Each structure stands twice: as C-alpha cells, then as structure tokens.
Amino acid sequence: MTKAIVIHEYGGPEVLKWEDVEVGAPGPGQVRIRQEAIGLNFRDTYHRSGSYGVPGDKFPAILGSEGAGVIEAMGEGVTGLHVGQRVTTCNGIIGAYSQIRNAKAENVLSLPDEIPFDTAAAAMFKGITAHYLIRQSYEVKKGETILIQAVAGGVGLIMCQWAKQLGATVIGTVGSAAKAEIAGNYGCDHIINYSEEDFAERVREITDGEGVPVVYDGVGLATYEGSLDCLANRGYLIGYGNASGNFPHVDPMDLMYNGSLYFQRASLRHFIRNRAELENATGELMPLLADGSIKVEIGHAYDLKDAAQAHQDLETRKTTGSVIFKP
C-alpha cells in the first residue's frame, strides 16, 4: 500500500482525497518509482475540475504531471534503466500525485546528479513547456522585445530566463508588488503590475508605439483583448493556458483590424508527441538546469496530503514561481 491523492469525481479542491492505493509490481515495460518530489501545475486544476478532465473520464484517478525519484523495481522487458537510478517523469501523463508510482519506461528519463529532485519536480514539465513555446510555437530571436503574461509563475519565470539567454528583452506582467520583485530577481527587464496599470498602454510606451512581435499568454480570458493590443503588425499571440478562464471565441476580424495577427492556442502534446521529441526538449533543458543557467524559484513546498490547499492557493493567485509536493 502507498498513499496518493485520488479523485472520484470532478469538482473543487475538496475532491482531492488522501487515500491508500495499491500500486503493485510494475507491469511489462514499466518501472516502479519511489518519488522524492512532485510538481504542481495549473493544468492539474483543469484535470480536477473537469475542464480538461482525466483520460476516458475514468475514476478513481490520480492527477499530477511531473515528479522525480528513484527506481525501486523493474517490469519485464525494460532496458536502459536500472534499480536505484535517479529519474524524472514529465511529459504530462498523469499519475504523479503518489508516494510510489508505476510509469511506462518510455516516459521515464534519467536525472543527472547535478539536478536535485526538488528542482526536477519544479521545472521539468514547466521547462519543456517553456521550450516549445519560445523555440517552436514562436521562435524568439536575439534583439526582440517580447511580452510574457503572469511572468512570476512557474512557467513564466523559466520562460523569462530562457528568452533572456536567447538575447531577448522581456516585458512581464504580474498581479502584485511582491510578484514584481520576484520577476526582477529573475531578470525580467520591464515589469507591469496589471492589477494597477493598463498593460497594453505600457507595452506601447516601452516599445515606442511599435508593439511586440509575440505575446505568451497563459492567463486567457482576462488578458486576451489586451494581449492583442500589445502586438506589432503581423505579431503572434500564443495562448497556452486559461488561468483566468478560457479564451473567448476568436473573431478573425479582430486579428485583421489589430494588424494581420496570428493566434495559436498551443498544447504540449502537439509538440512532445514521442520519445524523440521529449529527449530533444529535455536535452536542451537539463544542461541549463544542471549548470544553473536557468534557476528555479520554488515558492512553496506542501506535503502531498495537503494538495487541496495547494490547489486553492494556486487558483487564488497566492503562489509564486513553482510549487512542489513532498510525498
């Protein structure tokens, strides 16, 4: 028996239950991992509420997209991994909210000694998200000025540092003065508190009226119109999350009147479709985490049993940086 956070229905944080579960021996092609740290992601709240749901709407379900730990048993036919190995799982397959879990070996990556378990749990899923956003959805180029909404969050701080390394100037929005300070500590060049200021107006001022070539928006409903107003002619709005609610239906005429714009609602699963794409992303991310080029702000660490509290804090904008669970 092990303990896990389980849901039996969709709903608010209260549906997250701390229960005994039987993990059993790993099946063919699987390994059993004793987890040392688990990541909280905003998307976990969409799985919990039913907005994304869980695969096949099958209950009971264990949420959680990223974690790190040590292999303690191997299933039949697994090669290239061994008992005692430090590993991470991060490609978005749910099941991480558990002290012990079985995972398909094809989703398990070796974790270099230089990357602590907590860092991996805080940054692997968020980091491969940042990777596809700034390298593939829209490729950030040296000398560009870009806008990242909610820059003091988990994905936001990683994206900010990565874009800076690519030679971009980063404008970031935040919801409070405390978050502004954190964004500054991670190199954000221009910080706008969008609870107090009109962010589109400020972006126009900062860019001498030009606007930015790309806005990365994981906030959604509350920022959509303002994000369009920030874009330069033929700019890209990359929507990748709904923290404030879903993006509204996009009117193509809005895209035309605002400057022949592009809108993409991006999802990791269309960029990490197989092992080769996973290794490509983590192959770029891990060295940056290992040598400290990308630093990870672990704003909060909760006991796994307190997952409901963590979800509530994330959804009410109380968290900063990445949040992890200790099993």
Ligand X SMILES: NC(=O)c1ccc[n+]([C@@H]2O[C@H](COP(=O)([O-])OP(=O)(O)OC[C@H]3O[C@@H](n4cnc5c(N)ncnc54)[C@H](OP(=O)(O)O)[C@@H]3O)[C@@H](O)[C@H]2O)c1
**Residues in touch with ligand X (CB under 6 A):** 41-43, 126, 129, 150, 152-156, 174-175, 179, 218-219, 222, 240-244, 266-268, 314-315, 317, 319
Least distance from C-beta 77 to ligand X, angstroms? Answer: 30
Compare residues 43 and 104 and give the one whose CB is closer to ligand X: 43
What is the 8-class DSSP label of residue 68?
Answer: E
Tell me how far CA of residue 281 lies from CA of 107, 109, 265, in angstroms.
Answer: 13, 12, 20
Q: Is the CB of 31 or the CB of 54 nearer to ligand X?
A: 54
The DSSP secondary-structure symbol of 250 reads: P
Shortest Cβ 242–ligand X spacing (Å): 6
Question: Nearest-5° angle of CA 254, CA 170, CA 124?
Answer: 100
Phi-psi category of residue 311: left, alpha or beta, with phi > 0 → left and psi -120 to 50 → alpha: alpha
* Residue number with CB closer to ligand X (241 or 327): 241
DSSP three-state, residue 244 = coil
- Contacts for 46-51 with beta carbons within 8 Å, 24 or more apart? 46/242, 47/94, 48/7, 48/10, 48/11, 48/13, 48/15, 48/16, 48/311, 49/10, 49/11, 49/12, 50/10, 50/11, 51/242, 51/246
Residue 109 near residue 88 (C-beta atoms within 8 A): yes
Q: Is 293 helix (H, G, I), strand (E, B) or coil?
A: coil
Q: Please report how close the Cβ of residue 132 comes to ligand X at its closest, in angstroms.
A: 7
Shortest Å, Cβ 29 to ligand X: 26
Q: DSSP letters of 311-327?
A: HHHHHTT---BEEEEE-
Which CB sits closer to ligand X, 62 or 90? 90
Nearest approach, Cβ of residue 79 and ligand X (Å): 30
CB-nearer residue toward ligand X: 154 or 211 = 154
For ligand X, which is the closer residue by CB, 117 or 194? 194
What minimum distance in Å lies between the beta carbon of 15 and ligand X? 18
Nearest to 306, CA basis, from 17, 12, 9: 17
**Minimum Å distance from CB 28 to ligand X?**
30
